[in-house]
């Protein structure tokens, strides 16, 4: 019995969701490469990249599938390195299910924002990764008295500011998607809570839910109306 408990505790501390997400994205990238190349526009569209006219025609899943696609080797390499080091920390903090919810909702939120504000063909896990940064900001706000969390939050805040500044001056970067993912991750982290660290007030969770759901609905409807 003690051995089983030890194994279960070890499994609980293993970031298998993060590793699984990375594995899935690598498989998709290889499939895209075999299909004609991950930088090929036709291949990207076939695999589900975000393309506004097709979403407006009813292909709503293109707000989800871009999370798992990448455009070129450098794109996936940088995103997977970031996802591994950021994800394994947050997965332990939030737990596997809550962490996965943050990742997916952030990615969708970023793609909805991109759908509303950007007409470009886009793909990548960056929307979800920025959402993980947003979750770190939530931890910093809710548990500022914890010196470790406070230090991590400051570090990631500086990293986010630098990345957004870089986005502004770099052509082809989906700034709307990154900002949308950041805010989605910040609010969904309140919604799911983080019982492994501490309690988040009901008022904060209710407000976050209203802002998150209301914001996503408004952005989606606005994008459909364009």
Strand partners, 50: 122
Q: Find the catalytic residue in 122, 126, 151, 209.
A: 126
Q: How far is CA 88 from the centre of its chain?
A: 14
User: Which residue reads 């364009």 in tokens?
Assistant: 226
Note if 42 is an active site residue: no
- Give the ranges where 36-174 is alpha helix by DSSP (H): 41-47, 52-56, 73-94, 96-117, 126-142, 147-168
Strand partners, 122: 50
Distance (Å, rounded) from C-alpha 45 to C-alpha 35?
12
Q: Find the catalytic residue in 38, 106, 122, 178.
A: 178
CB 135 within 8 A of CB 143: no
- CA nearest to 152, candidates 143, 161, 140: 140
Note if 126 is an active site residue: yes
- CA nearest to 66, candidates 17, 9, 128: 128
Distance (Å, rounded) from C-alpha 146 to C-alpha 19?
28
The catalytic residues are: 126, 178
């Amino acid at each position: 019995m003690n051995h089983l408990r030890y194994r279960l505790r070890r499994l609980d501390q293993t970031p298998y969701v993060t590793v699984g997400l990375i594995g899935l994205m690598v498989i998709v990238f290889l499939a895209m490469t075999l299909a004609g190349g991950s930088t090929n526009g036709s291949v990207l569209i076939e695999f589900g990249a975000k393309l506004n006219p097709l979403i407006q025609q009813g292909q709503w899943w293109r707000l989800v599938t871009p999370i798992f696609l990448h455009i070129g080797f450098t794109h996936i390499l940088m995103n997977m390195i970031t996802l591994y080091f950021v994800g394994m920390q947050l997965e332990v903090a939030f737990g596997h299910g809550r962490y996965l919810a943050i990742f997916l909702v952030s990615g969708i939120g970023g793609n909805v924002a991109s759908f509303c504000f950007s007409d470009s063909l886009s793909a990548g896990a960056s929307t979800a990764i920025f959402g993980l940064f947003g979750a770190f900001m939530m931890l910093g706000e809710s548990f500022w008295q914890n010196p470790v969390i406070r230090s991590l939050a400051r570090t990631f805040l500086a990293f986010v500011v630098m990345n957004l500044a870089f986005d502004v001056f770099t052509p082809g970067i989906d700034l709307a998607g990154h900002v949308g993912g950041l805010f989605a991750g910040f609010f969904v982290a309140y919604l799911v809570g983080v019982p492994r660290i501490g309690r988040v007030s009901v008022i904060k969770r209710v407000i976050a839910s209203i802002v998150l759901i209301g914001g996503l609905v408004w952005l989606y409807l606005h994008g459909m109306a364009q």
